[in-house]
Amino acid sequence: MPKPIRRVVVLGSGTMGGGIAAHVANAGIPVYLLDIAPTSLTPEEEAKGLTLESPEVRNRIVNAGLERIKKSNPPALFSEKVLDLITVGNFEDNWEWVAEGDWIVEAVIENLEIKQNLMARVEATRKPDAIVSSNTSGIPIHKIAAGRSDDFRAHFLGTHFFNPPRYMYLLEVIPTPDTDPAVVERITWFAENILGKGVVIAKDTPNFIANRIGTFAGQYRVHYALQHGYTVEEVDTLTGPIIGNPKTATFRLADLVGIDVWNYVAENLYKAVPDDEMREYFKVPEPLAEMVRRGWLGNKTGQGFYKKTDNPDKKKRFWPINLQTLEYEEPKNPRFDIVGKVRKIEDIGERFRQIFAAADEDRGATFITETTLAMLTYASRRVPEIADRIIDVDRAMRWGFRVERGPFELWDLIGTRYVAELAEQRGHVVADWVKEMLAAGYESFYQWEAGDNVAYYDLYEKTYKPIENDARVVNLNALRHSGKELARNDSASLIDLGDGVLLLEFHSKMNALDDAIAEMGYRALDLLEKDEWVGLVVANQGENFSAGANVAMIGMAAASKQFDQIEQAVKNLQDLLMGFRFAPKPVVTAPHGLTLGGGAEVAMHGDLMVASAETYIGLVELGVGLIPAGGGCKEMLRRVVNPAVQDTQYVDPFPFLRKVFETIGMATVARSAVHGRELGFLSPCDRVVMNDRYRIGEAKKAVLELVARGYVPPARETARVYALGKRGLAALHTAIYGMLEGHYISEYDAHIARKLAYVLSGGDLDRPQWVPEQYILDLEREAFLSLTGEQKTLERIMHLLQTGKPLRN
């Protein structure tokens, strides 16, 4: 393990500097955030009689950066408490703080002279082993350190975060020829393990890896659309999920990042790459330049390639711009035959092969074929200019732009030789090294095994090199392809993780809980009775852990008054989760992403939770007129009220009961796993994993650790929950009455809240007491069932299914 980084200093509190500081604090590392002191007063400051020496003036700029952090959407911080780790100051009064930093990150304005002058000051102040890095994306890294000492340059490199730093997985690390390899190793370890980033090593070339390839791809699509008459809507239809890209596709992505920023990056590249054979595509087309002149910059100005409109039917809200006239037009929802034909093909290689085969027959296929071949061949010609390894190019594109496959992975999956020949036929230039590779008999960029790439073609050694294997990185699809899937139905699978550890995987739509998942869960419990299995992990690698119970099924059953069926389904879920809780072998849950309703209940019923830092957990059933009934109420009482009562006999348990009531009653969803712990969803013993790639591996490790410590399951007979009875119920009813009178909730909200209060208080108990967990489960099930018989609950369920939005009736 490299020498630890215990304090970070961020120089520059703008969007990127503030975001980096926030995420360092998210990781639990104290950070100093510094910026310049103002050189003039604002009219408001003058009116207050302040001077340039006034403390609030001195830190005005950095405090504004701190406010942006607090108000950012999506949130930059895991929790408000994280702010305690950020200390703000300015370059004049607090410069000595730089000497405390183990890592000093520069994120000031993109001006070489300013950066060089700042580096001179840093060199005079930093401690000898401190790492110094720049977050620049447009200035050569080596130029920023020009003129500095050998020791400074040995500790200097680029660390290019993507915006927003909390959410974007990619971090490009850019060493210079002078950077000490040990420094690269140290910052890489810190970024991967503490900040939770995916690191790729890039060369010090303009825009590094992801933005060089990604900007070309975007610009080429725009130019091609303008030259061949494709509309904004057509391009976004053809460049989104159908080709393995996010839904933002091309023009929606430009609106998201800002058209001014999009143009700036392209213009900067045009100036910086005079020898790039595709340089002309980095020129900003006139329609985009005119949009910036008009102030139509995308989402931040309310209009860009799309403009939000308030139509009476409320269906067509975003009107696309006509790229020729720059007038907004009613959406046309374009349709292409090829899209309909390949939409449901899961194999992305087969999907592209069919698209390419139709390139001269279907207008949509033509666009995808030409723009994809241009991107793939451009990527081949940029290696080894921008990176020595093709795997770094692919990872940079997957992690930086969230595409399904990087260019060389995609090329392989379509057919390496086929794509090379087709590209040449259609006038795209394939890199010489690719032709040499194919001529030498290497038929792919990667060696593939069980659906995963295990080795990559090395340009220098002209053979395959194994991809480094990290035991913490588990690929469920690769395990599945290698025969480790033990059982499967439409919604769930059982997978052998090795070392006697079993995994229960959800793969239903939205990973919603249903009977098939319950069936596989019971099968997992049966296997845990056998000696060959030592424990169970409940996890998946879908976009989200679970969106909760299948609301549509509940709604249909309620509408047809099949209440016995609903009660049995709830009882099955309760019994399954209690089976996890009291299983003979350790059960570790590993949630990530949306972990809602029943998904949260699953996550809370293991011996330990190993949660991704980006876990948004919450019991949201009140939004559809129900209450948690899979043990969510019981678990929140056990996790929040029980510890308070057990800590001291003199504590008043009601504030803790009220916290549980408010969390469930307001359908609060945690902003992160750290926030989830504050709300009570995670216990103090549960773990938070910053790097989601390690989540399942760490969960498996946790199972084995529990086994090694001589795991003994909790005793069902002594499992109790503290209930306040009538005293708690009366106090909660008072709170509900106040909210109703204040018009914060509707009459029906109050009705549901009273049901929830009844369950959380333990019903009609005449005094506070410890009750069996099953007692609360029975109350949950009874209240849930009664609410499914209410017409207004049915209306809420149907409204959510039809509109995707909650109904307040």
pLDDT of residue 324: 94
Indicate the burial class of 330 (C-beta count within 10 angstroms; 0-12, 13-18, 19 or more): exposed
pLDDT of residue 308: 87
pLDDT of residue 406: 97
3-class SS at 644?
A: helix
pLDDT tens sequence across 79-104: 999 999 999 999 999 999 999 999 99
User: Quick one: DSSP state of residue 721?
Assistant: E
pLDDT of residue 805: 86
Same domain (yes/no): 609, 546: yes
Two tokens at 83? 């702010």
Question: Is 666 within a domain?
Answer: yes
Same domain (yes/no): 550, 402: no
Using alpha carbons, list the distances in angstroms from residue 700 to 145, 615, 670, 693, 696. Answer: 44, 18, 25, 13, 6
Q: Which amino acid is at 62?
A: V
Same domain (yes/no): 178, 223: no
pLDDT tens sequence across 215-232: 999 999 999 999 999 999
Are the CB atoms for 145 and 119 separated by under 8 Å?
yes
Q: How confident is the model at residue 317 (pLDDT cuts 50, 70, 90)?
A: confident
Same domain (yes/no): 159, 229: no
Q: How confident is the model at residue 315 (pLDDT cuts 50, 70, 90)?
A: low
Same domain (yes/no): 659, 592: yes
Same domain (yes/no): 320, 450: no
Question: Is 768 within a domain?
Answer: no
Q: How confident is the model at residue 316 (pLDDT cuts 50, 70, 90)?
A: low
Give the torsion sign (CA, 586, 587, 592, 598): negative
Same domain (yes/no): 191, 212: no
Domain ranges, residue 707: 489-715
Question: Is 241 within a domain?
Answer: yes
Same domain (yes/no): 160, 290: no
- Which stretches of 597-755 are assigned E, i.e. beta strand? 608-612, 615-618, 687-689, 720-723
Select the more confidently predicted residue: 678 or 138.
Answer: 678
- Examine the fold and report which residue of 334, 358, 388 is the final residue of a domain before the chain moves on: 334
**Locate tokens 């204040």: which residue?**
742
- Examine the fold and report which residue of 170, 201, 232 is the final residue of a domain before the chain moves on: 201
Three-state SS string across 384-449, please?
CCCCCCHHHHHHHHHHHHCCCCCHHHHHHHHCHHHHHHHHHHCCCCCCHHHHHHHHCCCCCCEEEE
Q: How confident is the model at residue 310 (pLDDT cuts 50, 70, 90)?
A: confident
Give the torsion sign (CA, 482, 484, 487, 490): negative
Mean pLDDT value across residues 675-682: 98
d(CA 679, CA 126): 40
* 271, 202, 261, 276: CA torsion to nearest 10: 30
pLDDT tens sequence across 157-184: 999 999 999 999 999 999 999 999 999 9
pLDDT at 32 over 60: yes
d(CA 471, CA 501): 14
Give the whole-number percent of the chain exceeding pLDDT 70. Answer: 99
Same domain (yes/no): 281, 160: no
- Examine the fold and report which residue of 676, 696, 715 is the final residue of a domain before the chain moves on: 715
3-class SS at 805?
A: coil
Give the torsion sign (CA, 596, 602, 608, 609): negative
pLDDT at 700 over 90: yes
CATH of residue 37: 3.40.50.720
Same domain (yes/no): 248, 395: no
Question: Is 100 within a domain?
Answer: yes
d(CA 484, CA 260): 49
Mean pLDDT value across residues 406-420: 98
pLDDT of residue 313: 56
Same domain (yes/no): 17, 123: yes
Mean pLDDT value across residues 341-353: 95
d(CA 798, CA 775): 31
Parallel, antiparallel, or unpaired: how do β-strands 198-201 and 170-175 relate? parallel
Question: Is 77 within a domain?
Answer: yes
pLDDT of residue 649: 63
Mean pLDDT value across residues 685-710: 97
Are the CB atoms for 695 and 592 separated by under 8 Å?
yes
Same domain (yes/no): 216, 321: yes
pLDDT of residue 314: 54
Mean pLDDT of the chain: 95
pLDDT at 696 over 60: yes
pLDDT of residue 710: 96
| Total count of domains within the chain | 4
